[in-house]
Chain A
Amino acid sequence: MRVDLALIAGMVAPKTRVLDIGCSDGALIDHLFRNLDCDARGLEIDMETVTLAVAHGLPVMQGDADTDLASYPDGAFDYVVLSRTLQAVEKPREVLRQMLRIGTHAIVSFPNFGHWTLRLQLLFTGRMPMTKNWSRMWYETPNIHPCTIRDFFDLCAADGYIVEEWLAADEAGARAPWRRWPALANVFGEQGLFLLRKA
């Protein structure tokens, strides 16, 4: 399993109900079911990926985070996970609101647009940065809402979400040691991972 998924799994309590939005092949929900005895389900936009996941026996439905979350009832899940997808949805703020409506906790990870390599590229080349995380040209990238770790803290404050836990990680997902300094994490963390709940 991807290291960042392992970090997410580390935030989930055993025997809970989990919805993984943008679950891809379902590696996380498979792990949560097998090792933590969770009732874990997935939502994925790409039909071929959904077919693969269901063919592996995983409960995954095709759907779109921007439109399908509204059909779930309040508090249906203990955790709603959105990994590396927030920057690609049409209405990130609304998706986050829906996540904390249908779940008591939200777990969100996203690539940090404030990382120093991106800052330097923009400063020195004057062009949109291209890295492993941000690898598509601006006119064809699905990542239409990039944000930084500080931006995300601001949104949580504005919408009244409590950050129960957060960390910055490098590309491989290994935990990075800037726990107490969001400003440093915002420069050196390649991705941010947050555990939220409503105030």
Chain B
Amino acid sequence: MDQTAARPEIQHQSVTFAEGLTLDCGRHLGSLTIAYRTYGRLNAAKSNAVLICHALTGDQYVAEANPETGKPGWWEQVVGPGRPVDTEKFFVICTNVLGGCMGTTGPRSEHDAHAGQPWGTDFPPVTINDMVRAQKRFIDHLEIGRLFAVVGGSMGGMQVLAWAALFPQRVFAAVPVAAAAYHSAQNIAFHEIGRQAIAADPDFWAGRYWEHGVTPKRGLAVARMTAHITYVSEAALTRKFGRKLQETAGLSALGDRFEVESYLQYQGSSFVRRFDANSYLTITRAMDLFDLSADYGGVLPSAFAGTKTRFLLVSFDSDWLFPTEQSRAIARALNHVAANVSFVEIKSDKGHDAFLLDEPDFHRTLRGFLAGCAEHAGLS
């Protein structure tokens, strides 16, 4: 259902559920398609499944080259043979989130009421809980009763928390990384800049850009550039670029004078080739709406009352988008219900993005935690 000329047509592995899905907003999606990838082998007892939840602009290609960009999988350092989430031991599942643009039902999928037309901005608002219910439909389809672990960073971490709250019996171990129990005002503010940039692009056409054979490239690129700054730390930007200048002649207010500018522009332009603007609007809104305690009378511990799930919370000390205090608040909420919690803050100067990068302490911690859980689950 790809009508935007800029994107290559790729068949993603997927399964469609004809019964659809009822969303938090009350609307019903007539059919639900889940695009997914799996790695490793499911054991006979179906007890070694690990669900990886991806972040805002991630996808299901967690441990293999992305077919659209040709770049390595976004978490190959963490997921793969011999990696912390070892695909020789675990059956790893990753699905594209509801509202995404890599094959799962989203704004680019066919409209329920208008055959041959994409949803576009008609696509209903979705929530993190909706994403998790869609994933659960897929896990039911695989006839996996209990996931050994659910692991994810950033928005993926929000999904992990929602899994643990909504389906505690189905999750043996939960690992929210660089996550938070709600999206803060500052986070929402940065997302809003991105959404406004997209809306202000003349090629947006009120969200019906496919009818004009264009995409709001400039707006989406600015959205990505703004977001990218929030993913890195000031220290990392200084280390990488400092005030280094580009080798260009003359002075101009616009154009890449500093290296950090051309870096950001590259981030923006490579993003627009692979991401759909309406998906970006849908998913950023889902993150903004996330407030786990809101469903439990504003009392976060109630979200985890009686949980038997084992938790590992990981934060990074230079992450100012999902700062350590957010993870610590979740850890304390879990203490309130006497849950089994491990919590570490990893030293890194790479900011929020650290969860995607080469962080040996994080990887050791995750590997050890999963090994300990495997022992408790009788897996090893």
Residues of A within 8 A of B (CB): 17, 39, 41, 47, 50-51, 54-63, 68, 71-73, 76-77
* CB neighbors of A among B293-336 (8 A): 310, 312-313, 331-333, 335-336
B372 & A57 in contact (Cβ 8 Å cutoff): yes
Residues of B within 8 A of A51 (CB): 344, 346, 361, 364-365
For the complex, what is the distance from the CA of A90 to the CA of B299, rounded to whole Å? 29
Q: Are A62 and B344 in contact (CB under 8 A)?
A: yes
Q: A59-B372, A68-B332, A71-B332 are in contact. Are A54 and B344 (CB under 8 A)?
A: yes
- B188 → chain A closest CB, angstroms: 27
Interface residues of B (CB under 8 A from A): 310, 312-313, 331-333, 335-338, 340-347, 361, 364-365, 367-369, 371-373, 375
Chain B, residue nearest A75 (CB): B338
Closest chain-B Cβ to A61's Cβ sits at a distance in Å of 4
In the complex the two chains form, is A73's CB within 8 Å of B337's CB? yes
In the complex, which residue of chain A has the Cβ closest to the Cβ of B335? A71
Contacts of B346 in A (CB 8 A): 51
CA–CA, A56 and B373, complex, Å: 11
| Cα of A116 to Cα of B265 in the assembled complex, Å | 71
Contacts of A41 in B (CB 8 A): 340-341
Q: Given A61-B331, A72-B336, A73-B338, is A55 in contact with B364 using a C-beta cutoff of 8 Å?
A: yes
Tell me, in angstroms, the Cα distance from A41 to B369 when the chains sit together: 13
The residues of A that contact B341 with a CB separation of less than 8 Å are 41, 59, 61
Contact present for B369 and A57 (CB under 8 Å): yes
Which residue in chain A gives the minimum CB-CB distance to B364? A55
On chain A, the residues within 8 Å of B375 by CB distance are 57
A106 nearest CB across to chain B (Å): 17
Q: Which residue of A lies closest to B310 (CB)?
A: A59
Chain B residues, CB < 8 A from A50: 342-344
Which residues of chain B are near A72, meaning CB under 8 Å?
335-336, 338
Chain B minimum-CB-distance residue to A69: B335
Q: Which single residue of chain B is at the shortest CB-CB distance from A17?
A: B338
A51-B365, A61-B342 as given contacts; A68 in contact with B335, CB under 8 Å: yes
CB distance from A77 to the nearest CB of B (A): 8
Enumerate chain B residues within 8 angstroms of A73, measured Cβ to Cβ: 336-338
